[in-house]
Amino acid sequence: MDVILQILFLLISAKLFGELVERAGYPALIGEIAAGILLGPSLLGLVTPNETLEVFADIGIIALLFVSGAEMNLKSFLERRNVAVTTAVAGVLVPFGGGILLGHLLNLTQTETLFLAIALSITSIGVSVRILVDYKQLNTVLGTAIVSAAVLDDIIGIFLLGILSAVAMQGTTLAVDFLPAGLLVAIIFLVLFVIFAPRLLRWLFDLARKTETHEMVYSVAIILAIGSAWLSHAAGLHYSIGAFIAGLILGDQIRSDRLLFDSLMDFGFGFFVTLFFASVGLLFSFTRETFLSPYIIPIIVVAIAGKIIGGYIGSFHFLPRAEAFLVGLGMTPRGEIALVVAKVALVGGIIGSALFSAVTVMVIVTIIVTPLLMKHGFVWAGIREKE
């Protein structure tokens, strides 16, 4: 089927399912993922993953994180750095340890166990942010704790991915001289970006306001988001890191222009973000091997429990216990980076198709289950939607 027609079918179905799910009181992303599962290779086979959809999905995650960063208050974000650091560290160490233990219990090889521990350690910042946006909790103390910890989790995840890549290239022997180089580039990029990007991005944005073309500010905002995301990716980090930091830097200027902010929201959520979550559903597999795998249930249990416990341990010193529990829930979904880790391991011969399929199912399940758990968690904690 023509790729344009595939995108059309996917967008219509995702928006329709998202609306139905939202009317039932749950986040639209569940319906969008369900549309991908229905139209994807597992069921109807009308839409298949392809390079064009991957590009749109990447732009979707860039738009989501840029707008989310712009919606947050930079000062508040920096003030809550302590809870972010402790939550991120605990949110990685606990599921990483759980993955090591589970690997031994399942009699996996040493490299398979390392892969599993890494895959279980990474939070999907895109999914976490979308849930908080849907529940209007992004700019709260709870939301800031989840997002900032998820950002740091992604950075830690890139370092762990470097370790896995070294294992894939060198066999079971870690390439010690390879690891610091990739990590050093990422650290240098982050330091330079944080030092120089604020002044440069704000200057370019102010320059755009002085132009005669009325849509120039809108175009420049998108250019800066995509450009920052590309620089982040070129440095070995995920697109989302650069996009989020750029949005955070430009937040005050973007929020002061309500028309611009609303236009960017429509740009992202009206098309690209929807396709990103629908494309997640395309990855789901209903093969006999997948559902008969003895790995699936233990991996899902450890994935959910590890993040909840880690997030709670990292944040309960700073937040009420009910909110600390919700932080753990908010860090539960895995996403694009976990899938990248799985793909690297499969291509590198570190894991087989059974473990790859089990981790893919875990990613899908955590993405779908987390919004449901958080909805009831907000009710349990007595947290209402912010108007």
Q: What is the pLDDT of residue 164?
A: 64
Residue 383: other Cβ atoms inside 10 A: 17
Q: What is the pLDDT of residue 344?
A: 62
Band (340; pLDDT cuts 50, 70, 90): low
Q: What is the pLDDT of residue 8?
A: 92
Is the pLDDT reported for residue 165 higher than 70?
no
Q: What is the pLDDT of residues 268-305, one digit of tens each?
A: 888 888 888 888 788 776 666 666 778 889 999 999 99
pLDDT above 70: percentage of residues in the chain: 85
Structural domains in the chain, CATH included, are: 3-381 (1.20.1530.20)
Q: What is the pLDDT of residue 99?
A: 93
Is the pLDDT reported for residue 179 higher than 50?
no
Place of tokens 């909790």: 137
Q: What is the pLDDT of residue 354?
A: 78
Band (223; pLDDT cuts 50, 70, 90): very high
pLDDT above 90: percentage of residues in the chain: 15
For residues 178 and 344, the model is more confident at: 344
Residues 6 or more apart whose Cβ sits within 8 Å of residue 77: 144, 148, 248
Band (9; pLDDT cuts 50, 70, 90): very high
Angle in degrees, CA 49, 36, 332, rounded to 5? 100
Is the pLDDT reported for residue 159 higher than 80?
no
pTM comes to 0.69
Burial, 46: exposed, middle or buried (Cβ in 10 Å; 0-12, 13-18, 19+)? Answer: middle
Longest dimension (CA), the chain: 66
What is the mean pLDDT of the segment spanning 187-214? 85
Q: Please tell me the least confidently modeled range out of 24-28, 90-94, 208-212.
A: 24-28
Cα distance between residue 9 and residue 39, in whole Å: 8
What is the mean pLDDT of the segment spanning 39-53? 87
Residues 6 or more apart whose Cβ sits within 8 Å of residue 38: 13, 17, 44, 281
- Residue 56's nearest CA partner among 123, 120, 4, 110 is 4
What is the mean pLDDT of the segment spanning 111-120? 88
Q: What is the DSSP string of 139-187?
A: TSHHHHHHHHHHHHHHHHHHHHHHHHHHHHHHTTS--TTTHHHHHHHHH
